[in-house]
Amino acid sequence: MVEIIAVPALADNYVWMIHDPASGETAAVDPSVDQGVLDAAAARGWTIGQVLNTHWHPDHVGGNRGIKAATGCTITAPAAEAKRIAGVDRGVAEGDRVTACGLDAIVWEIPAHTAGHIAYYFEAAGMIFVGDTLFAMGCGRLFEGTPEQMFANMQRLATLPEDVKVYCGHEYTLANARWAVTVEPDNQVLAERLGEVEQMRSDGLVTLPTSIGQERATNPFMRARDVAHFAELRAAKDSFG
């Protein structure tokens, strides 16, 4: 079994670190910063050998250069965005395979937040790293894509087994939950989840990972009826609060 920790960075980012105790391998997913991630690894006696990027935004790749300089790690990133990301050794696209910490992942192309956004789905381990496409009770803004694309992403992710753990790039859960209950005021599961998240954040806890099952039950974007409904939801969320 691998160990996965969240390293908080910037205002609300999470850098996910995957560690295999058997081999000693460590990978960092979407490192927004370098020193904080290197320090978190060193505190545990880990050395980062790989970086996995989901998209080009600086708050997901800002640590690449420094981590590579310090460790000589290999950096994997979306091929479509490789020219915008520092230090890329391997560009990957839909259907490519990536091995990290002894685990095999398949690459999914999930564009809309950025045009070349990808996810890493570790099927056997039951986990997926989705960057800024899917959030707990939310989804990414459509900076470089369309409602059609993001709706398709939500539908595709919803086909995964309900116990698959979803590792998102930001601690947006509480804000998303407060919005979601305005959209689905009669969703009792959602209301209960809001209460749980409020308590977790009050206690200073990380609210992630979420799961596909939780999102099917409480994420308005994943529950959208069609593209038009999804677009309405996205517009409403963009103007909320």
In the sheet with 165-168, reading across from the earlier edge strand, the strands are: 97-100, 103-109, 118-122, 127-131, 165-168, 210-211
Count the alpha carbons within 13 Å of 91 in the hemisphere toward its beta carbon: 12
Kindly list the catalytic residues: 55, 57, 59-60, 113, 132, 170
What per-residue string of b and e applies to 95-112 under the rule 16 or more CB within 10 Å gives b?
Answer: ebebebbebebbbbbbbb
Backbone torsions φ then ψ of 140, nearest 5 degrees: -75, 155
Closest residue by Cα to residue 84 from 113, 106, 116: 116
CB 131 within 8 A of CB 169: yes
Please enumerate in sequence order all residues whose Cβ is within 8 A of that of 227, keeping only pairs 6 or more positions apart, or say none: 147, 148, 151
Concatenated DSSP letters of 113-127: SSTT-EEEEETTTTE
